[in-house]
Structure 1
Amino acid sequence: MSNVTPFPHPGTGPGERQVGFERLELQRIMDLYGRMVAAGHWRDYAMDMGREVAIFSAFRRTAERPEYRIEKRPALRHRQGMWVLVGEGGQILKRGQDLQNVLAPVERKLMRVVEG
């Protein structure tokens, strides 16, 4: 009974890896999410991790489209930058190599939410 047999999953073969957030990246994103929840602006989130992209979506209400999507695309690391901030309408708001710089527009919005 001590043998553990892994459950077969499509895409788990050699060379087919899933993109995910590293611990510090997720900590940074969840810190921002927590502050936006405390300010009463966001109420829900979702994460989707696939072979090419990992996505964190933040929602004002559960039934809406996400207000922001934070995407990590390692394949674009050497071109446009692997981090993308996408707005509610699907427009790309910021793109870059550094997560902190990509999250800057949301950080500024948080300052307005707290002050106003």
Structure 2
Amino acid sequence: MLLENAKVLISDDSILARKQLKDLLFDLGCTNVFEANNGQVAIDTYMSEKPNLVFLDIVMPVKDGIKVTKEIIEFDSDAKIVIVSSVGTQKHLREALEAGACEFIQKPLNLKNLKKIVESMI
């Protein structure tokens, strides 16, 4: 699949973090980007839009990224989820991967690392 045809969901309670990630994705050619500001909106958006790739923050209101990952995976076991967080600990990494996330990256993001992840998943 071409990056410009991919649907990507970004879920983070920080509008600045969402904008930064969205700008990087646009630089890579991903223009079909959806945003969610809390965990429940992320789940609802996933179910309605069925994106090819999801970026989730761990710490979010309503439902955290681990819970969101579990619910999305229950709905779609083939979902491609990347946990993106500034609170990256071994515990969070383990929980995210056990919940079904494919990848875990720490903020701040850079274009080179993001490109590698996006290209490997789409």
- Alignment TM class, shorter chain as reference: 0.3 to 0.5
Q: Which has the higher contact order (CA 8 A, sep 6+)?
A: 2
Give the alignment's TM-score, normalised by structure 2.
0.37
| Structure possessing the higher radius of gyration over alpha carbons | 1
